[in-house]
Structure 1
Amino acid sequence: MDNNIECKINNSCVGEYLLKKETEFLKYEITYPKILIYPKYIYHNDYNKEIIQSINTIIYNDIIKFKDNLEKESLNYKKIYEKGDVKFKYEGYSNFDVTYDKNNFISIPVEFYEFTGGAHGMTYLESYNYDLNTGKQVLLNDLFKKGVDYKKIINAYIQSYIEKNKELFFEGNEGFKGIKDNQEFYMTDDNLVVYFEIYEIAPYYVSIPKFNIPLKEIEQYLNLKYICIQ
């Protein structure tokens, strides 16, 4: 077994921050993460402060973009609203979880929800997977050894699940055709979680389709630089 890399908990923590506002036509409660490094670990050169800040900036910019879009759309609605019309608030919410925080690799899925009128709101997921040493975004192929056909492995897991639960997924041209080069995912201690947006391969009522692939079942193919299997 090629599992000779020591498992190491990252010398970091993640703070929770909140942007909140409510007006006649707008309401949002946007919770977002910020990676924090204890000063002693920066002093001992465990981490580069600028690299950590660059990751936080990427996350924060996405949060502000989400907030600004809500504010802009609610203002436009306010301008066209007429007395007697059905009044509603543009709403936006977010929450996050730190699902993996080991071997200088951090995985933070952030779930966004917005309601802008219509029959229902929309939920989408944005995962921030980063190497804390380099600031590099960790892509799905980075989790596997060089030369491994990771798409074939993951596609087989997903297809197997879909075959057993056909009633939950689209078929034919609208159905699952294989993962993308920039496929969305996040990590947990036990699973690689590959997911798709609402309506991408399944109806709205399924919400965000997620596929848990146990790390122990694919350990022989994994790049253990990032992944800790115990």
Structure 2
Amino acid sequence: MNKVYKILITVLVVLEIVHICPQALLINLSRDAVENPKLVDKIIKKNLKFVNIDVDIPQIVGLINENGEKVINNEISDWTDSWINEVKETSEDLTPTIPYELNAKYTLTNNEAILSFYIDYYQFSGGAHGITTRKSYNIDIKSGKKIELKDLFKVGYDYKKNINELIQKEINKHPDYYFTGKEGFNGIKDNQSFYIKNNKIIIYFPYYEIAPYVAGMPEFEIPYDMQEFKEKIG
């Protein structure tokens, strides 16, 4: 009877670990068992006195560079924890009559040569509407290193000029949707946010950066040949 009881307890503990941190078992698998890096869910769900939390963020499993994988996973977890704790502290100080809402979901957009995905963090803390913060990640699957926009192009190629022209061309089609002058689009940044989808670079801008809230989160598709990147990394 004691043996059966111990087995039952062990099974329940394993199931609880998988529920809280489903990547736990996958990480312990042989690295050869994972043909391509994958994203697994890390779920944080709590209903506190002043905040309702429903968060689903990704953790990477299967990169050849295990240290690089760990660094990126920790970066995602740390940023998420900081975001949650900041809102919790604010809610406790202000004691809102309606609980704040924190939601996060992720989307995988590319898994060939470059692992590309983004996380949308939504926060409602009163007012007319909530706000979404998007964090994107682009990782060289072979090296396990994060990729910046400049890394996609050959050295010396004026990618900023060409991308700026394409974006401005799209803005000119609907100028009323965007801010003008210093508040409007004045070129992409060195650390410009983007993700890869369907062999295109998707450049995006946060709410209010180049357009009013009603315009949403502006996105611009930039044609890109993924084969060129594959040839660069060998």
TM-score (norm 1): 0.80
Provide the aligned length of Structure 1 versus Structure 2.
200
Q: Which residue of 77, 85, 104 corresponds with 1:60?
A: 77
Is the CA contact (8 Å cut-off) linking 1:51 and 1:132 kept in structure 2?
no
Is the CA contact (8 Å cut-off) linking 1:185 and 1:193 kept in structure 2?
yes
The structure, 1 or 2, with the larger RCO (C-alpha pairs under 8 Å, 6+ apart) is 1
Query: Could you tell me which amino acid in structure 2 is paired with residue 49 of structure 1?
Result: E
Counterpart of 1:50 in structure 2 is 67
Cα–Cα, structure 1 residues 137 and 177, in superposed 2: closer, same or farther, change >3 Å? same
Q: Which residue of 131, 147, 152 corresponds with 1:138?
A: 147
**CA deviation string 1:144-200 (max 9, x = no partner):** 111100001110110010000111111122111100111111111231000111110
Percent of aligned pairs sharing the same letter: 36
d(CA) in 2 for partners of 1:164 and 1:89?
41
Q: Which residue of 42, 47, 50 corresponds with 1:25?
A: 50
Query: Could you tell me which amino acid in structure 2 is paired with residue 68 of structure 1?
Result: N
Aligned counterparts, 1:40-119, within 5 A: 47-78=64-95, 87-103=97-113, 105-119=114-128
Write 1 or 2 for the structure with the bigger share of helix: 2
Any runs of at least 4 consecutive aligned residues in structure 1 with deviations exceeding 3 A, and if so which?
Answer: 132-135, 222-227
Unaligned runs of 5+ in 2: 1-34
Counterpart of 1:41 in structure 2 is none
Is the CA contact (8 Å cut-off) linking 1:114 and 1:121 kept in structure 2?
yes
Cα–Cα, structure 1 residues 186 and 131, in superposed 2: closer, same or farther, change >3 Å? same
Higher CA-based Rg = 2
**CA deviation string 1:67-89 (max 9, x = no partner):** 111211111122xx6xxxxx211
How far did 1:94 drift?
A: 0.7
TM-score (norm 2): 0.79
Is the CA contact (8 Å cut-off) linking 1:102 and 1:226 kept in structure 2?
no
Find the residue that maps to 1:155 and give its secondary structure.
Answer: helix
Unaligned runs of 5+ in 1: 1-9, 38-45, 82-86
Counterpart of 2:206 in structure 1 is 197
Q: Which residue of 124, 130, 149 corresponds with 1:121?
A: 130
How far did 1:226 drift?
A: 7.1
Query: Could you tell me which amino acid in structure 1 is paired with residue 171 of structure 2?
Result: I
Counterpart of 2:29 in structure 1 is none
